[in-house]
Amino acid sequence: MSAGGSITRRLRIGLAVFALALAATAGLTVAAVSRQDETLGEQTTHVQPLRAANIGLREEFARSQAGLYGYLLTGQKRFLDVYRDARAELTGSLAQIRRLAPGELAGAAGTQARAAQSWYKIIDQSATVPWGSRAAVTLTEQDTPAAAAFYRANGQLQQRAAAWARTVTRDSRRSLEASLAWSGGFLAVVVGDRDGNLR
Residue 177 maps to a domain: yes
Whole-model pTM: value is: 0.71
Beta carbons within 10 angstroms of residue 184's beta carbon: 12
CA angle 86, 135, 131 (to 5 degrees): 55
Strand, helix or coil for residue 145: helix
Rounded to whole angstroms, what are the CA distances from 77 to 66, 73, 127, 143?
A: 13, 11, 10, 20
Residue 35 maps to a domain: yes
- For the stretch 76-120, pLDDT in tens is 889 989 988 998 898 889 999 988 888 888 889 999 999 999 888
Residue 198 maps to a domain: no
Q: What CATH number does the domain containing 38 carry?
A: 1.20.120
Residue 176 maps to a domain: yes
The pLDDT-based confidence of 169 (bands split at 50, 70, 90) is: confident
Residue 159 maps to a domain: yes
Q: What's the domain range around 41? A: 2-192
Residue 197 maps to a domain: no
Residue 152 maps to a domain: yes
Beta carbons within 10 angstroms of residue 174's beta carbon: 11
Is-contact 187 29, C-beta < 8 A? no
| Number of domains present in the structure of the chain | 1
Please tell me the number of Cα atoms within 13 Å of 196 on its side-chain side.
9
Strand, helix or coil for residue 177: helix
